[in-house]
Structure 1
């Protein structure tokens, strides 16, 4: 159903999104994939991909659209028969909202979206990795020219370019899967059946300075509860992501409670080559979330405009590289991985290998102390027994 796209043709930015969603069977969903559902012709301005991830008692609808700024929308319902309805005449109209619905509407439990709104570039003249007034005009992704979705099995590739690009281009690759697991490439993020994975790649985009660094602007959009709170969790286990002991989480909750409705999660690391390796790792950081205009994001994204009537929007930037790290020009490549989903984010536990190493590392000294204590006690008892009483 899809032709596999080459993820390094000419130079581009790739974003991989993987959806694994919750159901009564926590390890499996049945996937149904359709491009431009209900349309009798090819839409002129971009495609709409719809994935139904069906469980025993629920469904997660995953929609990916290139009408304007690329947008990833997921809607969780409590019905295994819910579906998406699109009024294409209204959906293609620039000033019309409410053209896309999940029916029955009463089955919707939670909905959220992430908009890939802008790519920002600045000249780090002092090698401080601190964005200053040296920003170049941003790349607004809503103004890119997008090719048609290229589908292959459970993956979809979307490529586009800004008018100023020469050999570089910007691509988003979406992958959906029906079971939980772990990404095969660094940073080897663990995905549950409630999550989606997004891999961003910046490849061959022409830099506008000799010391260029990039930032990616993300906008989280929701009805009542968009992603709004940032958390940073630490771990002592770096088996799957060497040298990285933290994970950043952008979560949605009700009135700041501990119950998470949706999340975006990532390791604060990016990679400077197509085949990521430890020596190619470069740190990344995020800004504090900030409220945005819902009207502005509706104007930028056709999917947001079609589904939400009065959305809340929160944005943040992810910056790549720290002071002293190589600049983008060193390889003209950058990749970063993001996990998105509903419910609580998956948590890495100690693997059997790490448990065994800890057991050996901590257990051996304890055994030596125990054996040494027993030997000292036995030696003292023998010495005491060899003394003769004095009359």
Structure 2
């Protein structure tokens, strides 16, 4: 969040060398607040107990894939109005080799200048101070071991018979870690209205200390659903699993050092800012693992301020009003008629 007189500058030679300070603001006094996240790694893991969760999986059953191992292209940019803009990224190479046409990661980032709903399921709430991130893992079957694999092993993904994908998420905020006793907090809220996200009655969110205390913090918000088909049908979906404890990030590894977040903030990601690492794994028992559908989505809203609250939609309000109003009307009319008959009989 900046003032109108602040510009973002890029030193391209430093950026290609992954140096800190390659991306910077030309007027730091105009920067009011900064919040965002980086994605250092994808993780392929062998879900031995079919839980969908990665926290109990030993390291020998995890394979880390830095996002920098992929080459990306801008597949599409779009702006449907003066108050909405977005960009769609697509992977084209993996570790220097072209990826098959049906194997890809798609990442879409959209910002809105109005309050409303995103057009894509699960139709998260949009605000002028937020953006939305949507990732699709489409036929992401990679040979990560380098060994010559048979067809059945490739189908199992790098020798893992119960393969699932997970993603590292590193949120960071400009709050001073020396002044914050409690950093990130997870919460989930029930909703009786599923008109916008059929079959999903929860909203989950992670907030920073300032977001809970003032209007200047940061937040992540999502519906706990990952669709397994491109038409995003709730009947073909699974669950995103997220750890609920958020220890401070104490050191930076190579994938983070090659991220855009490091190019902007450098060592301040761990020295001054409040940063943590979250692992999101996709799956739940008996959903046939990633190879069952070879397709997984997840949509996340992130922004500055207080997370928007879900309210009843107009349709639900009308249904509730009719459900209460019609019986009440029948009772009043019926009671009036009975009273009228008794008075007339006298």
TM-score range, shorter chain: 0.7 to 0.9
Residues of 2 paired with 1:210 and 1:165: CA distance?
25
1:223 maps to 174
Answer yes or no: is 1:111 the counterpart of 2:43: no
1:246 maps to 202
2:70 maps to 145
Shift of 1:328: 1.5
Shift of 1:215: 2.0
- Partner-residue secondary structure (3-state), 1:290: coil
1:230–1:250: 8 Å Cα contact kept in structure 2?
Answer: yes
Residues of 1 paired with 2:16 and 2:326: CA distance?
68
Structure with more strand by fraction: 1
Cα displacement string for residues 297-323 of structure 1 (whole angstroms, at most 9, x for unaligned residues): 785334222221412321212222222
**Aligned residues: CA RMSD:** 2.9
How do residues 72-221 of structure 1 correspond to structure 2 at under 5 angstroms? Answer: 76-78=1-3, 80-94=4-18, 96-131=19-54, 132-133=56-57, 136-153=61-78, 154-159=86-91, 161-163=93-95, 167=100, 168-206=103-141, 207-208=157-158, 209-221=160-172
User: Which deviates the most, 305-314 or 233-242?
Assistant: 305-314
Question: Structure 1 residues 347, 212: closer, same or farther in 2, change over 3 A?
Answer: same
1:142–1:301: 8 Å Cα contact kept in structure 2?
Answer: no
Residues of 2 paired with 1:286 and 1:183: CA distance?
23
1:269–1:283: 8 Å Cα contact kept in structure 2?
Answer: yes
Answer yes or no: is 1:329 the counterpart of 2:288: no
Larger Rg: 1
Shift of 1:149: 3.6
Residues of 2 paired with 1:376 and 1:125: CA distance?
70
Shift of 1:334: 0.4
Cα displacement string for residues 111-153 of structure 1 (whole angstroms, at most 9, x for unaligned residues): 1221112222333344333433356333332441313444534
2:211–2:218: 8 Å Cα contact kept in structure 1?
Answer: no
2:188–2:203: 8 Å Cα contact kept in structure 1?
Answer: yes
Structure with more helix by fraction: 2
1:297–1:304: 8 Å Cα contact kept in structure 2?
Answer: no
Question: Structure 1 residues 161, 171: closer, same or farther in 2, change over 3 A?
Answer: farther
- Partner-residue secondary structure (3-state), 1:295: coil
Residues of 1 paired with 2:218 and 2:136: CA distance?
24
- Partner-residue secondary structure (3-state), 2:296: strand
- Partner-residue secondary structure (3-state), 1:197: strand
TM-score (norm 2): 0.77
Question: Structure 1 residues 126, 87: closer, same or farther in 2, change over 3 A?
Answer: closer
Residues of 2 paired with 1:225 and 1:372: CA distance?
66
1:231–1:248: 8 Å Cα contact kept in structure 2?
Answer: yes
1:371 maps to 333
Question: Structure 1 residues 229, 258: closer, same or farther in 2, change over 3 A?
Answer: farther
Listed as ranges, the gaps of 5+ residues in structure 2 are 79-85, 142-156, 178-182
TM-score (norm 1): 0.69
Shift of 1:179: 4.4
Listed as ranges, the gaps of 5+ residues in structure 1 are 1-75, 386-391
User: Which deviates the most, 105-114 or 226-235?
Assistant: 226-235
2:193–2:316: 8 Å Cα contact kept in structure 1?
Answer: yes
1:139–1:162: 8 Å Cα contact kept in structure 2?
Answer: no
1:123–1:134: 8 Å Cα contact kept in structure 2?
Answer: no
Question: Structure 1 residues 122, 145: closer, same or farther in 2, change over 3 A?
Answer: closer
User: Which deviates the most, 234-243 or 314-323?
Assistant: 314-323
